[in-house]
Chain A
Amino acid sequence: MLSKFIDIAIIQGTIRMATPIMLAAMGAMVTGLSGIINIGLEGMMLLGAFFAVVGSYYFGSVWLGVAVALLSGLIMALLFAIFTMKFRAHIILIGITINAFALAITVYFLRDWFNVAGAFSDNAIVGFNTVKIPIIKSIPILGDILSGYTPIVYLSWLIIISMHIILYKTPLGRHLRAVGENAEASETLGIKVKGIKYLAVILSGIFSSLAGAYLSLGQLTMFTENMSANRGFLGLAANIFGMGTPIGGALASLIFGFADSLAMRLQGWETIPSQIVLMIPSALPILILLIFSVRKKKELKNFKEENISKLLSGK
């Protein structure tokens, strides 16, 4: 019975669905660690998805599509940074503005540039092909799980690993973590607080627009309105659940990805009402997180009671 749900295809689906969330989580992480809440990740991802298609369509190259997407992410990140840090605008408001702007402008451009509504697909758009990693692909089972994705999936793994190394092994990463925890202390030690915050915001823009490019060129080779579909917010949640660490954020993203993947599998089953299936991607992660936090609370309570009874029996 269970093997009908959990097979290699569902694991592959998990990884595919988790990739954009992971990238957003990395963006949420770098900004979060530097003390900035960037809820504009969602809008940056959507713009990335759109401009990836635009770039790919006009230049006829998937990588140039990605480059245009990254450029859009960079510009949005710079706007975010300048408005919040230079003009001291409210950080949440700017995030909301970016999200609203991204949604509106992509709809507008779809009509104005391509004369379509809702979605844009064209044979001129070049999408990513899947790549099998040599050697690894020939390992049984593991080869199927770790190999056979589009390049951005591998790129996201690389980003996670490098973020881990940068954060914990280099002065830059240490300074980034210090800035978020105590900016004043960091400043007095000669750390360039503003520079680090700018860098963090720029990285978050790049990561989330890369996630967008993955959605439009890595999975579907088309752009649809509101394509990011809250994955930017899921990234924020995954980062919180992962306690601000690259590995933790990645694992949390996998939970979200699994829920997505499971829902897609169950759509084929007519015995389960479609409403329930549609609920899975949002309900399952909440359920899992709830179980974790209830457990944690219970643990603390048990620990407390244990300590107290130890104390009372000792007397």
Chain B
Amino acid sequence: MAYAVEMLGITKYFPGVVANDSVDLKVKEGEIHALVGENGAGKSTLMNALYGLFQPDEGTIKINGEKVVMQSSNDAIQRGIGMVHQKFKLIPSFTIVENICLGSEPRKNKYFIDKKEEYKSVVEISDKYGLKIDPSSKIRDCAVGIRQRVEILKTLYRKANILILDEPTSVLTPQETDELFKVIRNLVNKGKTVIFITHKLREVMEISDTVTVLRKGKLTGFKPTSETNENEIARMMVGRDVLLRVDKKAIESEQKPILEIEDLVSTDNRGLVALNQISFEVKPGEILGIAGVQGNGQSELIETITGLRKIERGIIKIRSKKINRFSPKSIRETGISHIPEDRIERGLNLDATIEENLIVTSHDKKPFSSMGIFDFNKIEEFSEQLINEYDIRTSNSKNKAESLSGGNMQKIVVAREIEEDPDLLIAAQPTRGVDIGSIEFIHKKIIEARDQGKAVLLVSTELDEIMSLSDRIIVMYEGEIVKIIPGGIADEEELGLLMAGIVPDTLQSKMRREAK
């Protein structure tokens, strides 16, 4: 079969690093090709070269057998390459149709947008490839899964034949991921070629025909998926054996809970009820996992506990002490630390140095400052120690946080919050967008905290993470707790249904009723 994409001997230098070192990528026409590797392995560099965002220093690119040089992403689009970026490139206040056609609007009378025509063509494409959308709803009202569909439709509207999907599942729930996989298979059946970037091994096995593995800018594996397995790919990615399961001791806690929540009610920014009379508790030495599709009240729950959102009704207690009216700072001082779900927005100051980010939650206390004056030696010493311990890859602790890769940024947040030595650690999406080596490490740290007798509240949309870490699991749906289940006995299918708001018992009885 012919190759849709051939990238041969691609080398790209960035100041101080070789991002791609003589990498080959061969993608057959009509296949699903997984491109895997840890953060910083050079996947994005390779794909940006293919998408024309920059040119490789060495090597050739062939599209459908023809050698090409691409000066810009417009050239790539002209040659039928489409890319769905990890960070969506959408205009929130525009409708789905407006977003899909932006920049290539059909016209009438030369100067005006032909709104009927653009609506029609969007509906046509969405029907053809089975990507269901409501064309006139605004992007800001759309769930993440829908936004991703819009991104895919955007490439199809521009007649892409080769689709690059950059970590498309990192923002999706299991159900949304299943739907995406259906869409991808559908696309391939209709003759498209898909390059699928990921570092989730299970997905590689499930969806891809061929897999290419990169490590530190070099090609370390290229195989048909059927001839390899998860452990082998992991080894090719990391360069050593990786523990895919988490080891942990059983919980033995009969102590008083650290966090108690009673009948908590809270609203979202639009004034709609986001938390509907939620009650639960977290005990010392316990990891309580909160599973749920994004946007079902988890964010509001964390914001309410950490004092970032108003409590409308109900009580939050830390070690039996009511903290309803506490400020975020005084809540932290009661012994809560918080790994926020969005490290860029809430976790870090990208303009500040790594050091400053590491001490920001305790900069006003000893040993980092006394009488309002910083002790820079102490700060540096502390930072160096954390940088070593948490393996934050940087040349200097005084570099800006924005100079780091996503995984290393996350390690700063994790290091800072765990070193606070809290009684309750709130970890929201602690491993989002982080490579497997770092995931393993962060998981180990969370388990360590639990084994030291800390309470951990873990919020994650990654079912694997929830299932392997949690001692108990709460499933949230539309601001309510659907069910609380012990961690050991949860299975993925049941969790998936609960996350969709379907309680298996009622599902069965409903089916029975309908059968009658």
Q: Spell out A's residues near B (CB within 8 Å).
A: 169-171, 174-175, 177-178, 181-182, 184-186, 188-191, 300-301, 303-304, 307-308, 311-312, 315
State in angstroms the CA–CA spacing of A308 and B105 once bound together. 44
Q: Is B103 in contact with chain A by the CB < 8 A criterion?
A: yes
Which of the residues A171, A178, A301 comes within 8 Å of B91, measured between beta carbons?
A178
Q: Which residues of B contact A185 (CB under 8 A)?
A: 89-91, 102
Min CB distance, A248 to chain B, in Å?
14
Q: In the complex, which residue of chain A has the Cβ closest to the Cβ of B51?
A: A188
Which of the residues B77, B91, B107, B273 comes within 8 Å of A308, measured between beta carbons?
B273
State in angstroms the CA–CA spacing of A272 and B22 once bound together. 84
- What band does the interface of chain B fall in when counting residues whose beta carbon is under 8 Å from A? 20 to 34
Q: Contact between A311 and B74 (Cβ–Cβ < 8 Å)?
A: no
A308-B312 in contact given A181-B93, A189-B103 (Cβ < 8 Å): yes
Binds A, one of B264-272, B366-374, B392-400, B467-475: B264-272
Q: Contact between B313 and A312 (Cβ–Cβ < 8 Å)?
A: yes
Q: Contact between A189 and B273 (Cβ–Cβ < 8 Å)?
A: no
Q: Which residues of B contact A190 (CB under 8 A)?
A: 73-74, 77, 103-104
Closest 4 CB pairs of A and B: A189-B103, A185-B89, A304-B271, A303-B271
State in angstroms the CA–CA spacing of A175 and B107 once bound together. 14
Interface residues of B in 89-130 (CB under 8 A from A): 89-94, 98, 102-105, 107, 111-113
Q: Is B349 in contact with chain A by the CB < 8 A criterion?
A: no
Q: Contact between B102 and A189 (Cβ–Cβ < 8 Å)?
A: yes
State in angstroms the CA–CA spacing of A307 and B313 once bound together. 12
A304-B267 in contact given A170-B111, A182-B89, A184-B89 (Cβ < 8 Å): yes
Can you list 24 pairs linking A and B with CB atoms under 8 Å apart?
A170-B111, A170-B113, A174-B94, A174-B98, A174-B102, A177-B93, A177-B94, A178-B102, A182-B91, A182-B92, A184-B89, A185-B102, A186-B91, A188-B85, A189-B103, A190-B77, A304-B267, A304-B271, A307-B272, A308-B312, A308-B313, A311-B277, A312-B265, A315-B277
State in angstroms the CA–CA spacing of A31 and B276 once bound together. 43
Q: How many pairs, one residue from A and one from B, have CB atoms within 8 Å of each other in the complex?
A: 76
Q: Contact between B104 and A189 (Cβ–Cβ < 8 Å)?
A: yes
Q: Which residues of B contact A304 (CB under 8 A)?
A: 267, 271, 312
Q: Contact between B273 and A307 (Cβ–Cβ < 8 Å)?
A: yes
Q: Which residues of A contact B93 (CB under 8 A)?
A: 177, 181
Besides A171-B105, A174-B98, A312-B277, 20 other A-B contacts (C-beta < 8 A) = A174-B102, A174-B105, A177-B93, A178-B103, A181-B92, A185-B89, A185-B91, A186-B91, A188-B73, A188-B89, A189-B103, A190-B73, A191-B102, A301-B271, A304-B267, A304-B271, A307-B272, A308-B267, A308-B313, A315-B277
Q: Which residues of A contact B102 (CB under 8 A)?
A: 174-175, 178, 185-186, 189, 191
State in angstroms the CA–CA spacing of A100 and B93 once bound together. 36
A171-B113 in contact given A300-B271, A315-B277 (Cβ < 8 Å): yes
Q: Which residues of B contact A175 (CB under 8 A)?
A: 102-103
Q: In the complex, which residue of chain A has the Cβ closest to the Cβ of B111?
A: A170
Q: Which residues of A contact B277 (CB under 8 A)?
A: 311-312, 315
User: From DSSP, what is the main secondary structure of chain A's interface residues?
Assistant: helix
Q: Contact between B103 and A186 (Cβ–Cβ < 8 Å)?
A: yes
Q: Which residues of A contact B107 (CB under 8 A)?
A: 171
Q: Spell out B's residues near A (CB within 8 Å).
A: 73-74, 77, 85, 89-94, 98, 102-105, 107, 111-113, 154, 265, 267, 271-273, 276-277, 312-313
State in angstroms the CA–CA spacing of A178 and B154 once bound together. 15
State in angstroms the CA–CA spacing of A191 and B105 once bound together. 11
Q: Which residues of A contact B154 (CB under 8 A)?
A: 189
Q: Which residues of B contact A311 (CB under 8 A)?
A: 265, 273, 276-277
State in angstroms the CA–CA spacing of A174 and B114 once bound together. 12
Q: Which residues of A contact B265 (CB under 8 A)?
A: 308, 311-312
With most chain A CB atoms within 10 A of its CB, the pick from B73, B113, B271 is B271
Min CB distance, B500 to chain A, in Å?
21
State in angstroms the CA–CA spacing of A171 and B98 once bound together. 10
State in angstroms the CA–CA spacing of A185 and B85 once bound together. 10
Q: In the complex, which residue of chain B has the Cβ closest to the Cβ of A311?
A: B273
A182-B90 in contact given A170-B111, A190-B74 (Cβ < 8 Å): yes
Q: In the complex, which residue of chain A has the Cβ closest to the Cβ of B98?
A: A174
Q: In the complex, which residue of chain B has the Cβ closest to the Cβ of A305?
A: B312
Q: Which residues of A contact B312 (CB under 8 A)?
A: 304, 308
Q: Contact between A174 and B267 (Cβ–Cβ < 8 Å)?
A: no
State in angstroms the CA–CA spacing of A190 and B313 once bound together. 50
State in angstroms the CA–CA spacing of A303 and B102 once bound together. 35
Q: Contact between B94 and A178 (Cβ–Cβ < 8 Å)?
A: yes
Q: Which residues of A contact B111 (CB under 8 A)?
A: 170
Min CB distance, B242 to chain A, in Å?
34
A191-B92 in contact given A171-B113, A307-B267, A307-B272 (Cβ < 8 Å): no
State in angstroms the CA–CA spacing of A304 and B107 once bound together. 44
Q: Which residues of A contact B73 (CB under 8 A)?
A: 188, 190
Q: Which residues of B contact A308 (CB under 8 A)?
A: 265, 267, 273, 312-313
Q: In the complex, which residue of chain A has the Cβ closest to the Cβ of B276?
A: A311
Q: In the complex, which residue of chain B has the Cβ closest to the Cβ of A306?
A: B271
State in angstroms the CA–CA spacing of A189 and B90 once bound together. 10
Q: Which residues of A contact B90 (CB under 8 A)?
A: 182, 185
Min CB distance, B53 to chain A, in Å?
9
Min CB distance, B196 to chain A, in Å?
20
Min CB distance, B224 to chain A, in Å?
33
Q: In the complex, which residue of chain B has the Cβ closest to the Cβ of A182?
A: B91
Q: Contact between A307 and B91 (Cβ–Cβ < 8 Å)?
A: no
Q: Which residues of A contact B113 (CB under 8 A)?
A: 169-171, 174
Q: Which residues of A contact B105 (CB under 8 A)?
A: 171, 174
State in angstroms the CA–CA spacing of A307 and B271 once bound together. 8
Min CB distance, A185 to chain B, in Å?
3
